[in-house]
Amino acid sequence: MSAPAFRIRAVETGERPVTLRLGFRFGNTLVERTSEAYLRVTLEGPGGTAQGVAAQLMVPRWFDKRSERSNEQTVDDLRRAVASAARLAPGLRGSVAALAAELRAGALAALSEGPDPLPRLAAGFGPALLEMALIDAACRALGCSFAAAVQGDALGLAALAPPDLGAEPLRAHLARLRPAPEIALRHTVGYDAPLTAREVRARPDALPVSLDEVIAATGVRWFKIKLKGDPQADIARLEAIATVLEPLGPVGATLDANEQYGPEAFAEFLARLAAAPRLAGLRAGLAFIEQPFARDTALETRAPAGPPLIIDESDDADDAFPRALALGWAGVSVKSCKGVLRALLNSARVAGSGGGAFLSAEDLTCQPGLCLQQDTAMAALAGARHIERNGHHFAGGMQGAGQAEREAALAAHPDLYRPGARGPEPAIAGGRLRLGSLDGPGFASAPGPDFTTMNNRNFQEETGQ
């Protein structure tokens, strides 16, 4: 399968408000409400026209953690990023990979200028969302699934292969990728989340709130535990969590520092972690520690000895992972909000490392529906075998979707969803999600969102708006 060229005819953006049932902390901010961004693109190609869609939650204060920015300002900045990419898109022509690269470069240049420039991670949000919709539209134009398009390099990624990979090795790697039939979930344990039912002070509904309730309801055996940057407090918190997990026997765990540590404090944390007798079981199942250092300095800091470290917030460019590997970091997170094509490049780097590197799949509160579907399909194809999933726990319910859209999602994905009190919810069984229905035509987008339920903005080639 060769990589066809497409012309972008139109882009439509929209959003839906999302209210969290449980407040969620990213670093030093509490998120209680935000919006989910939607995008629809119309492509013209060899077989006529096709449309593709994508969705991402606009998470406050993760893409941009500058202390002077409020939650609302950082969400507005993500809107700017989406609008910038959408404004640049109409009239562009090329393969999906070439279009995505041109849009990313243009949006980053536009948003880095002026009195209020955006950090690269925030500026890249809009291009990443549009990239996802381009992939969906191309797959629909070709009548194939996301996996088939990747395997045949129909997106044109090999033609733009970076020097450390090369076109033919990358093409061979893509051809070997296979969609996974299921994936294990990692449940996020916030550093202020209740661990047992008796700690729950208020219940928004009848769904699980505390860690022990989630375990009983879902059978999950992987956990992502948030740290706060205080060695003594973090070890005490881990010991409390270990007490809840101990009856389960062997479990898997990852730790997420969310840029909260400096090198000296982190060295103290690692020493305490290694010495704590009550954490022996947790240490045995510890897969990695995520982004302990600030994104601005992490790629200038050699990884210390101890558990493997991965970058997440520092992954703001296609060459970030190779730079991290050169400093002894072991892995990188893949997130569709940072770029599906970047995730595929990093998957190839992992495959070529001879076992010396790995990738992880992180959530960023993907909501049930289009966002969850596309992000999970991407991560599973890239090689992840467990994935952080927390959007359904902290918000969920396909908020803003009408009854017809919710019923269509249940019908299209009876393996992935089940009916819930607030709408479709992930059908987690034994700590796992089944993914078979995602491997259909398009990029895991069936049935697609109803744009008539949103306040929309249109960008078309004919008007240049």
β partners of residue 359: 332
DSSP state of 434: E
SS3 category, 257? coil
* Structural tokens at position 357: 């590197």
* Structural tokens at position 416: 């992935």
Distance of CA 301 to the CA centre of its chain: 24
Write the burial class of residue 403 (CB in 10 Å: 0-12 exposed, 13-18 middle, 19+ buried). exposed
- pLDDT for position 194: 97
- pLDDT for position 464: 45
- pLDDT for position 451: 95
Measure the CA–CA gap between 444 and 180, rounded to whole angstroms.
13
All residues at 6 or more sequence positions from 233 whose CB lies less than 8 Å from its CB, including other chains: none
Which ranges of the chain have pLDDT less than 70? 1, 27, 462-465
- pLDDT over 70 percentage in the chain: 98
- pLDDT for position 32: 92
Q: If we measure between CA atoms, which residue out of 186, 104, 178, 100 comes closest to residue 135?
A: 100
pLDDT tens by residue, 187-223 = 999 989 999 999 999 999 999 999 999 999 999 999 9
DSSP state of 210: S
Helix 340-351 × helix 96-111 angle, to 10°:
110
Q: List domains and CATH numbers for the chain.
A: 6-143+453-460 (3.30.390.10), 182-447 (3.20.20.120)
pLDDT tens by residue, 70-89 = 999 999 999 999 999 999 99
- pLDDT for position 27: 63
Q: Are 299 and 327 contacting, i.e. CB atoms less than 8 angstroms apart?
A: yes
End-to-end CA distance of the chain: 34
Q: Are 222 and 185 contacting, i.e. CB atoms less than 8 angstroms apart?
A: yes
* Structural tokens at position 104: 């990313």
Q: Are 417 and 427 contacting, i.e. CB atoms less than 8 angstroms apart?
A: yes
Q: Are 120 and 424 contacting, i.e. CB atoms less than 8 angstroms apart?
A: no
Which H or E run contains 310? strand 309-311
Measure the CA–CA gap between 192 and 227, rounded to whole angstroms.
10
